[in-house]
Amino acid sequence: METPDNTPEAPSPTGIAAQDWATASADPQYRAAVVDLLGALAYGELAAFERLAEDAKLAPTLGDKAELAKMASAEFHHFEQLRDRLSAIGAEPVEAMDPFVAALDGFHKQTAPSDWLEGLVKAYVGDSIASDFYREVAARLDSDTRSLVLAVLDDTGHASFAVEKVRAAIDADHRVGGRLALWARRLMGEALSQSQRVVADRDALSTMLVGGVADGFDLAEVGRMFSRITEAHTKRMAALGLAA
């Protein structure tokens, strides 16, 4: 919700961004990068499904439980779209997801929420950072892949639900804010360290990010992208009543 559909810096489509999948995928390195991207996103959605279903168990009321189950189900449908797209372009979905299982599971293991509010903050922070990242990347993708990526990043209603519940909890007890601010910092640190692990491991994906593919990012642009994502995170934390 906080992130506009197109970052103001987004250039009008040129190079790959002006092509459709059929044309762009003729380059085997671009094709491999997209399979990586969709695989990472698909496993992210499946992991998000599990995380939200798990958080639903911590819900203080039946209404909250149903709300989280609804979001979990929405993430599952996103997963289905990505899996079907992988199949459609001739990639084996399980193989495409596999390289990202360790990093995502590692992230979730290192950041298991100890209560309902930590779970809400985690889902909010995690979804927002992931959305920011994929939206930045989407601008550089072929038109078909871009449409799919933007469609599955559609707001599942989680952001406003989490913001409302967390703000109410901080209003009721100000000490909660300090604890959750520390928690959000830990989440951001762990997310960055796992992302670095993925980037170091996946050649095609990294090459696309740092500019080895025509119209990919150059290294300075990657740096600026990380600044924009961190800045957006800081703003979101402030809106939540948390010092980032």
Q: Are 81 and 45 in contact (CB under 8 A)?
A: no
Kindly tell me which residue out of 29, 31, 53, 244 binds its own copies, with binding defined by CB under 8 A. Answer: 53
The two three-digit tokens of residue 55, written as one number: 């958080």
Kindly tell me which residue out of 2, 11, 57, 155 binds its own copies, with binding defined by CB under 8 A. Answer: 57
Using CB under 8 A as the binding rule, whether residue 58 contacts its own copies is answered as no
Using CB under 8 A as the binding rule, whether residue 54 contacts its own copies is answered as yes
Residue 63 neighbours by CB under 8 Å, 6+ apart: none
Using CB under 8 A as the binding rule, whether residue 38 contacts its own copies is answered as no
Within 10 angstroms of residue 240's Cβ, the number of other Cβ atoms is: 22
Q: Which is nearer to its own copies, 14 or 73 (CB)?
A: 73
Using CB under 8 A as the binding rule, whether residue 56 contacts its own copies is answered as yes
Within 10 angstroms of residue 120's Cβ, the number of other Cβ atoms is: 26
d(CA 12, CA 31): 22
Instruction: Please count the residues of this chain forming the interface with its own copies, following the rule CB under 8 A.
Output: 26
Among positions 118-177, residues that touch its own copies (CB under 8 A) are: none
Q: Which is nearer to its own copies, 54 or 203 (CB)?
A: 54
Smallest separation (angstroms) from its own copies to the CB of 126: 17
DSSP 57-124: TT-SSHHHHHHHHHHHHHHHHHHHHHHHHHHHTT--HHHHHGGGHHHHHHHHHHT--SSHHHHHHHHH
Smallest separation (angstroms) from its own copies to the CB of 99: 12
Using CB under 8 A as the binding rule, whether residue 33 contacts its own copies is answered as no
Among positions 63-92, residues that touch its own copies (CB under 8 A) are: 63, 65-66, 69-70, 72-73, 76-77, 79-80, 83
Smallest separation (angstroms) from its own copies to the CB of 113: 15
Residue whose tokens read 């939206």: 135
d(CA 166, CA 30): 41
Q: Which residues bind its own copies (CB under 8 A)?
A: 43, 46, 49-50, 53-54, 56-57, 61-63, 65-66, 69-70, 72-73, 76-77, 79-80, 83, 94, 97-98, 101
